[in-house]
Amino acid sequence: MFYNLLRGFLYPFLFIFLLFKPKKLKFVFQRLFQDLSTLEKKAKYIWIHCSSVGEINLIDALVKKLKNDFNENILLTVFTDTGYEIAMNKYSKDDRISLFRFPLDDICILKKIFNYIQVSKIILIETEIWPNFINLGSKYSKIFIVNGRISNKSFPRYKKISWIIKPLFSKISGFFMQSQEDKNRIILLGANKNKVFVTGNLKFDISFETFSSEDMSNLRRFIKSDTRKIFVAGSTRQGEDSILIDVFKELKNTLLIIVPRHLERVPEIETLVKNSNLTYKKLTDLELNPSSEEFQILIVDKMGVLRKFYSIADVVFVGGTLVNIGGHSLLEPLFYGKSPIFGPYLQNVKDISKDILNLNIGYKINNKEEFLNTINLLETKPVSEDKIKAFFKSNQNAAEKTIKFMEEE
């Protein structure tokens, strides 16, 4: 009650503020004013909610399994614009999947949706806790947290508001967590221990693209790296690119490919490269005007191509780990047989990084010297691809386990 009174009180001030922020105003309006007629009225739906790109990328196997095992249509909502774009690319042609932007937990819009369609299940990917969505949704359907995790960073914050979270958790029918530690933490926050299960990480069920030898050879030629080694830095964050450039300067006969997590950082990276007196090309410029001249750094300024570059890499660094972000996907380079190098900040990939280090199929570094030593080690003693394949095989089927528990609840 207080939550909605506070929202109602703040709405007028929010809209006055947004009048001076066109981008933010567009963001809010796109979520509060959506056309429900694209949904099939009174039809049965499973509602899946994701926050952003990461969650959208990991639900492929789950969506496929839901479509195979249940007759309902799927309503997929996404919070961020980038996540929505990726979802559109993946699912817009699927007749059984409807895509919406998440309506900012607005109780009036949520009521309209629940009255317009019949929701049989709500699936919250990872730990998306929205009070109105959970309170209202529990009156219409069962709610499940899937691929749940409680990070080191969020756990203390959740503990401070456990008095708010615990009543919400009582409305949830099942918690399907990534690890035993995540299970223990969510129970400490108030989840019923009889409703909490460890089902593993959906990331292992992702269907990664495969690329032919011809595709990879053509890409190497296109980026002028037939003879040079390829050093791919994926999903880099602010503060990491300068370190990577310093490491690159110590390498011989190598092309550095920087793939920033957010494209708005491309001008910042260009400035860093220029100040380092290194030659570079942006991918979109190279696509428009293929060059015969070699360059030292390729800056990837488009979405959706990181995996293709991982497939041809000799050295891979995974970003968000040298600065306190918590890390991005370590599984993507591994799928292509590449041992990831990563920094010490691993809270988002904690369990996976531990397994990778225990199996010696990836490397953690803390400074430039360790980075260079690891690159030299990989050159002389590459990791067995059989070990990587065994790692994937032993962790798969999280989606199947999740559906099995869901059917029992």
Beta strands in 237-384 (DSSP E): 254-260, 280-282, 297-299, 315-318, 340-342, 363-364
Beta carbons of 99 and 76 less than 8 angstroms apart: yes
d(CA 407, CA 409): 6
Strand arrangement of the beta sheet that strand 340-342 belongs to:
280-282, 297-299, 254-260, 229-236, 315-318, 340-342, 363-364
- What's the pTM value of the predicted model, to 2 decimals? 0.79
pLDDT, tens digit (0-9, with 9 covering 90-100), for 82-139: 899 999 999 999 999 999 999 999 999 999 999 999 999 999 999 889 999 999 999 9
Residue 134: both structure tokens together: 């959970």
The per-residue pLDDT string of the chain (409 residues; one tens digit each, 9 = 90 and over) reads 688 888 888 888 888 888 899 999 999 999 999 999 999 999 999 999 999 988 998 999 999 999 999 999 999 999 999 899 999 999 999 999 999 999 999 999 999 999 999 999 999 999 889 999 999 999 999 999 999 999 888 899 999 999 999 999 999 999 999 999 999 999 999 999 999 999 999 989 988 899 999 999 999 999 999 889 999 999 999 999 999 999 999 999 999 999 999 999 999 999 999 999 999 999 999 999 987 788 999 999 998 899 999 999 999 999 999 999 999 999 999 999 999 999 999 988 988 999 999 999 999 999 999 999 999 999 998 888 899 999 998 888 999 999 998 887 6
d(CA 406, CA 144): 8
Residue reference for tokens 């990664």: 208
- What totals of helices (H) and strands (E) does the chain contain, helices first? 20, 14
pLDDT, tens digit (0-9, with 9 covering 90-100), for 54-84: 899 899 999 999 999 999 999 999 999 989 9
What residues are paired with 342 via a beta bridge?
Answer: 364
d(CA 362, CA 378): 10
Nearest alpha-carbon partner for 266 in 221, 297, 312, 229: 297
